[in-house]
Every structure is written in structure tokens, then in C-alpha cells.
Structure 1
Amino acid sequence: MKRIALSVLGAVLLCNAVGAGDFSLNLLAAYYPPNLGGYQSSGFAPINYTYIEGQEPPSALRSLGSTWGGAEAKAVLSYTHSTPFLAGPGLMANNAVTGKGSLELSPVSINGVGQCSLSPIAFLVFDAGAALGTGWTAGPFQGLGLNPASNDLSLQLTPFGGLVWRVWGAGTFQFDVAALFPGEWNHLVFVVTAKVEYKAYTGATDHQAWLYEADGGENFNGTKFYGTYIVGYQMPLLVNFIGFMAESEEWIDEVRNYSTMASGGWGSDFRFWQLSSLINLKLGEKDSLLLLFQFKRDRDYTDATTRNRSFETRVFEAPYWYFNRIALSYTHTF
């Protein structure tokens, strides 16, 4: 979900800064405070540094919690080129086609990403893109693997065992009150994005769960819908943007019916939500720093099944919320 958050906010803040061609470097770092995954909770899982040790197969149990939490790091080098397209007066003055190519590198993965965006009018942007990558294992950090639907089998790491690819299409509605009431203090911004993405791992078959970039291993080859909703205020200060963002994520193809909540399954039809506060600092003409504080809505399983190693053997009980992460995203434009 982080890709959506950073790309949408970037479009809001930097739409007037992209020239004929720009290179940029983005450095992302995040800290994930630990919790017990909804175990013995009542709707909210507080930050908890207690560690409940798991059990090896057979009848494996997963560990809950951590004594330190989790971390994420990624570097993204991008080139963006924008060309005027069907430009005209008024709302069509900034019409353009924008192409963007990126190389993403994390401690356990590498990805190549390409995207094309069309802005036919000031308040609409349409995107289409594709990405290709692979992963490896680095010490305790897991980049790529298969996640068997059994508590008697461990996660099967498959470093460089195939390619993870995805294609997507998205539409964004964006509106700035300053377009109606000009003024540097009148930038009240609204952004709504709908995105449909198909994602697959060449080393996995249908109905086979897999892990990528240490994400928990609950992926399937299939299609998801992502929604992103932002309201914010942009101003001519060091802190040049503050805002609120809501994001949703859910399966929309056959994966949605694999193990539904109503059938006593693990919740393949569950809709995840993330709520974030956003603060952006403009550190000069070419540098910015985004701070994100995020809560997440996830699945709470029955206490009898929540420790099962395979998520496909757990039973959904209710949703719960927890504090998900603190993230920093630094961007430099060359």
C-alpha cells in the first residue's frame, strides 16, 4: 500500500515541479512497533514488546510479538518525462502525458517499474503501469518464498526462484480549492484514487500462497482493488503540507471466495484499511521529507487458531486495529 500513498501524495506536491525530464532519488525507511496480532485483544492491539515463542513443525505455531519490532528500507531511482498533450486554455492548460521509469532496491529485493500517466484535464489523471522483480534471503530477512497451507510445513524460501510481476490501471480525481480562489494560502487539496492491480509470482501455482519482500506471505496470484483518499492543506512554509489519508485493499477476483469470513474461513473477502497522518517538509527546491504515522485495520482470529503457522488454517473472528508504522520518505530531484 505504501506505493500508492507515496505516489499519490507526490503527484499532489510535485505536479508543478516536473519538467521535460527529471531524475529523482527516494529513500524510504519505516519502523513497525510490535503487537500480538490481535491475540486476546478487544478491537485494538496496543504496542507490546512481549514475545511469545512459536513451535516448529509438525503442528507448528507462529511466534507472536517481538522484543524490537520490524523495519523496512528501500531506495528508488526514477526518471520522469512529461510531454504536453492536447493542451488548451483553462482547465486543459497543463494537459500532459508523463512517463516514469523506476529501479527499486531493498535489502531483499529488486524491482523495475514503468508507468504512463495521462492528464486530459486539470482534475483527472489516468495511470497504467507494470513492474517486474525478484527477491532473495539476507540473514533473518526473507525476500521470496512459498507459504504452504499446512501447519506441518515451514515457509519454503525460494531466493531468485522466479519473478514477481504486476500490472495495473488507475484513475485519480484531484481538486485544489486554490483553482477557484487563487492564493498561496488557499490550497485545500482533495485526492481520490481507484486502482486495480494484478500481481503474480511465477514460482507459485493457483491457490498457492507466497511471500515477497518480507510481507507476511499472504499473497496469491490474483487481482486486488486499492482505494486511496487524501484531504490536505498545502502552504508556503517549511512544513508545506499536512493531511489525512485513508487506504483500502481487498481481493476482487476468485481469491475473494477462497475462504470467506461468513464460511468460518480466514477471511479472503476482508477489506483492509489504513489511516495515516501526513506531514511534508520542503527542504529546498529539490528536496522534501514526508513523515507518515499509520494505523491499520486487520483480521483478528479466534484465540484457538491465531497462533497456527499457516494463515489458511486460522478462523476469522472480528476486525481489530493497531498502530502499524512510522515512515520517513526523503526525495531528492536532480
Structure 2
Amino acid sequence: MFKKLLTLSLLPAALFAGEADESTKSHLDLSLTTIAAIYTDVDYEAGDDHFAGLNGPFSGAKAVTRFNATYTLPTPLGEHWLLKGANVKFNGIFELSPLTIRPLVGLDFTPVPFLVFSAGGSIGTGWNPLGFDGMSVYSLKKQEYKSLTPFGNYYYDYWAKATFQFDTGALIEGDWSHVVMQASYKWIYEGITGVDDGDLWSWQVFPGEANGWQYDVTAVLGYQMPIALQMVGFMAEFYGHYDPADYKKVYQGFDGDFMWIDLSLLMNFKLNAKNELMTLITFEGGRSFATDHENADEEPLLKKTGREWSFYRIAFSWDHKF
């Protein structure tokens, strides 16, 4: 799921609290993040809850690059150690992929080390080279996704998020005492201009979306070490639409408020002072349908009957600090 790869690019700053504290000494930080994923060829099966096998190790790959600029403004709320490190971060991001382009803006307020409140938004456009759906809308008549107009139609989102994070190293001294935890809840509205409410669309090769409010819950548990393999951990993500009415009645069987589940093994390698490489190995729980089908274009008119688990992808995020 391409849009969930963006979560991967945001994890290091939130999890590695010690490094984040040091960054407040420099008001402006610049970095380049490149995210790529290799997707398996899943052998989709009809029926209730089940685990699907693989037809092969490769069905496709995706990539996106982000240039990040963060201005940190210290805003100490008092002399207590919990309050004196408070800050506000202003984030500007320019994102480019072979299929899409978009700028993003955001703001993070950290009143105490273990709480972060965030808000932001983005707007972008896309194109569909060689049949890949950078930005498209679903045609009921043809039962396939049709191209939208680059720089004529625009994807947009706006969101708010609350994050709790904790590092046991704050209580227990030692290089090997860092168990890091993070839990976040995100409210996000996504849409595409020129697409009627209730119609389906695809953005960054993720089909089956519709204009409307969604949630995204992420939990991470990791162990941080003073070696090149800086952290190993587990990440769980739960996301979907709040309201099935975001989808037209003709898609009722598609189950518009279905909750996706991604479970991932996470590894972060600190290559040097300026470069880090993060890897995710992900199993996904997606829709299972009552009837067999050949491709995702048929799914909006099928009946969801359960959850299909599969070994979904291997993703990489390389972050370079300037």
C-alpha cells in the first residue's frame, strides 16, 4: 500500500528521542528521504478469513523521494526538565515519484518529551504512464480505472494527529536500556478534485479509495542499540474510512469502512552520522471476496466476505541529512 510507505519516512524522528533533542540546537534541518518497496505476487483466494500463498516473489515495485525542511523553534514552558525542551517544528516537504508530484506542509508541537500534537496537509497531481494509476477514477461502465487530468485534477488531504512516545532510557541509564514505544492516532480527510463524492479513485497505485474522513492508528515497539543495527522492532497499523456512506450504494458489498491491518518487522541501520536505512517486512490483512477474480479492477463490485492475510512487501527508507 503505497500511501502507508509515507509512515515509514516519518518514524525515525519520532522514535529516536535522544537524537531529536539534539536537533533542537540547530533551527533548520534539511534531509532527503527515498522510499522504495518490492511487492510480492499474492495468490488471491475467495472465501472467509484465510492466509493467501504466493504465486511468486515479485509483482511490482514503487518508489518516492522527499526533500524535507524542518525549522525548529524552542518554546520552553518552564524550568522543569519535562517542560524546558518544548518546541514547535514547521515542516515543508516536496515529494516526487514517477507517477505523482506534491508539496506537503505540517506543524509539530511537543509540549513534553512523550507527547506530540501534529497537523498538516498536502495537494498534488499525478499521471498514468504505461497503465500505472498515479491518479485515476473508477468507471462503473467499463469496470476499470480511467486516467484523470494531470494539473487539472488534484489529490488533497488535511489531517491532525496525536502521538505518545516513550524511551525507557529516560529512566534507566546505559546504552542498552532503550526500549522505545510509540502510539499515534491520526484523523485525515482525503479527496480528489473533480471526482464526485461516493465515486472510487486511485492515488499512487492504491485503488478503492473515496473522498471522506479516515483514521490511521499506528503502534511501534522497538529496542534501540548502540551498534550499526540501531533498532529492531514491531509495527502495527490499522486504517480505513469511518463511514461506509463515503462509497455509493452500488459498492455496498465492497465494505467501505473495512479496516486494513499491516503488521511489520522493523529494522533501522545507522550507517553514519548523516545516513540511516530503515527496512520493513510487512504482512497485510486486506479484503477477501466471495468470488474469485483476476485483478483489483473487479473488486469494487464484489462482495467482501472476510480478511485475507498475505506476505505483502519489503520496503526500504534511506534518509540522508545535509
Residue of structure 2 in register with 1:265 after alignment? 253
* Structure 1 residues 323 and 6, CA gap change in structure 2 (3 angstroms): same
TM-score (norm 1): 0.88
- 138-147 vs 189-198, which moves further: 138-147
Which of 175, 178, 186 is the matching residue for 1:195? 186
Displacement after TM superposition at 1:87 (Å): 3.9
Residue of structure 2 in register with 1:229 after alignment? 219
Amino acid across the alignment from 2:217: G
Displacement after TM superposition at 1:307 (Å): 5.9
Residue of structure 1 in register with 2:208 after alignment? 218
TM-score (norm 2): 0.91
C-alpha distance in structure 2 between counterparts of 1:257 and 1:308, whole Å: 17
Question: Residue by residue, what CA displacement relative to the aligned partner does 1:156-194 show, whole Å, maximum 9, x if unpaired?
Answer: 111404111100000000011111112221110110000
Are positions 1:16 and 2:21 aligned together? yes
Question: Residue by residue, what CA displacement relative to the aligned partner does 1:67-99 show, whole Å, maximum 9, x if unpaired?
Answer: 940111111001011111134321123210001
Residue of structure 2 in register with 1:251 after alignment? 241
Which of 116, 139, 158 is the matching residue for 2:148? 158
Q: Which has the higher helix share?
A: 2
- 6-15 vs 238-247, which moves further: 6-15
Q: Which has the higher strand share?
A: 2
SS of structure 1 residue aligned to 2:82: helix
Amino acid across the alignment from 1:126: F
Displacement after TM superposition at 1:5 (Å): 3.5
Q: Is the 8 A contact 2:244 2:257 kept in 1?
A: no
Q: Is the 8 A contact 2:31 2:321 kept in 1?
A: yes
Amino acid across the alignment from 2:39: Y
C-alpha distance in structure 2 between counterparts of 1:184 and 1:273, whole Å: 33
Are positions 1:326 and 2:296 aligned together? no
Amino acid across the alignment from 1:26: T
Gaps of 5+ in 2: none
Amino acid across the alignment from 1:238: A
Residue of structure 1 in register with 2:228 after alignment? 238
Gaps of 5+ in 1: 50-66
Displacement after TM superposition at 1:41 (Å): 8.4
Amino acid across the alignment from 2:34: L
Q: Is the 8 A contact 2:49 2:306 kept in 1?
A: no
CA RMSD, 1 decimal: 2.2
Are positions 1:70 and 2:60 aligned together? yes
Question: Residue by residue, what CA displacement relative to the aligned partner does 1:238-280 show, whole Å, maximum 9, x if unpaired?
Answer: 01111100000021135467569xx971111211100001100
Amino acid across the alignment from 2:220: I
C-alpha distance in structure 2 between counterparts of 1:16 and 1:238, whole Å: 21
What is the number of equivalent residue pairs in this alignment? 313
Amino acid across the alignment from 2:235: M
